[in-house]
Amino acid sequence: MAILEIIKLGHPILGQKAEPVKEINAKLIELAHNMIETMHAAPGLGLSAPQVEMSKRLITVDLSIGERQDDLIVLFNPEILFREGKVIREEGCLSVPEVYEKIARPQKVIIKGLDLEGKEKRIEAVDLLARVFCHEIDHLDGKLFIDRLSPLKRQLIKKRFKKKAESIKK
Residues with a known catalytic role: 136
Q: What is the DSSP letter of 3?
A: P
3-class state of residue 126 by DSSP: strand
| Spatial CB neighbours of 42, under 8 Å, sequence gap ≥ 6 | 6, 94
Cβ proximity of 132 and 45 under 8 Å: yes
Q: What is the DSSP letter of 20?
A: P
How many angstroms separate the Cα of 141 from the Cα of each of 1, 49, 95, 109?
A: 27, 11, 15, 17
Which residue from 58, 48, 72 is spatially nearest to 144, judged by alpha carbons?
48
Cβ proximity of 35 and 44 under 8 Å: no
Whole-number Å distance between alpha carbons of 96 and 82:
27
Beta bridge partners of 61: 46, 73
